[in-house]
Amino acid sequence: MAPSTRTTLELLAMSGRTVNSAIFLLVVGNLLAIFSDALIKWASGDLAVFQFVAVRLLFTLMLLVPFLSLVDWKDFWGGSRVHLVRAHVGLAGILCMVVALGALPLATANAIFYAAPVMVMVFGVLFFGERLDRKSLFAVVGGMIGVLIILRPTEMNLAGLTALGLALALAINALLVRKLPREQSVVHSLLLNYLFALPAALVLAVIEGAPLHVSSLGAAFGSALFILGYNMTVILAYRHVDANQVTASEYTGIVWAFAIGWLLFAEVPDLWFWVGTTLIVVPLLVQALMSARPAGRRRLATQVGGSRRATDRLSAGGEAAEIRAITRPSDDPDRACDESPAPVRAARCSSD
Mean pLDDT on 239-263: 80
Please tell me the least confidently modeled range out of 128-137, 220-229, 299-308: 299-308
Over residues 302-306, mean pLDDT: 36
Asked if residue 62 is part of any domain, the answer here is yes
What per-residue confidence (pLDDT) applies to 82? Answer: 94
Q: Note the pLDDT of residue 13.
A: 46
Task: Give the residue, 209 or 288, on which the prediction is more confident.
Answer: 209
Q: What share of the chain has pLDDT > 70, as a percent?
A: 74
Residue 47: pLDDT band (50, 70, 90) is confident
pLDDT at 316: 32
Residue 2 within a domain: no
Query: Stretch 86-115: mean pLDDT, rounded?
Result: 91
| More confident: 46 or 87 | 87
C-alpha span between 231 and 193 (Å, rounded): 15
In this predicted model, what pLDDT tens digit does every residue of 321-342 receive, in sequence order?
433 433 344 444 333 333 333 3
Stronger pLDDT, 204 or 157, i.e. the higher one:
204
Residue 262 is assigned to a structural domain of this protein: yes
User: Are the beta carbons of 82 and 176 closer than 8 angstroms?
Assistant: yes
Tell which wins on pLDDT, 294 or 146.
146
Q: In this structure, is residue 166 part of a structural domain? A: yes
Q: Which residue has the higher pLDDT, 167 or 333?
A: 167
Q: Is residue 333 part of a domain?
A: no
What is the pLDDT averaged over residues 86-92? Answer: 94
Number of domains in the chain: 1
Q: Is it the case that residue 301 has pLDDT exceeding 70?
A: no
Least confident of 25-39, 118-132, 162-176: 118-132
Q: How many CB atoms lie within 10 A of CB 178?
A: 17
Can you give the pLDDT at residue 350? 32
What pLDDT score was predicted for residue 150? 86
- Domain containing residue 29: 7-327
pLDDT score at 244: 61
Choose between 34 and 16: higher pLDDT.
34
pLDDT band at 314 (very low <50, low <70, confident <90, very high): very low
* 340 is a domain residue: no
**Is 206 within the bounds of a domain?**
yes
Closest-CA residue to 341 (of 110, 132, 120, 35): 120
Residue 352 lies inside a defined structural domain of this protein: no
* Burial class of 81 by CB neighbour count within 10 A (0 to 12, 13 to 18, 19+): exposed
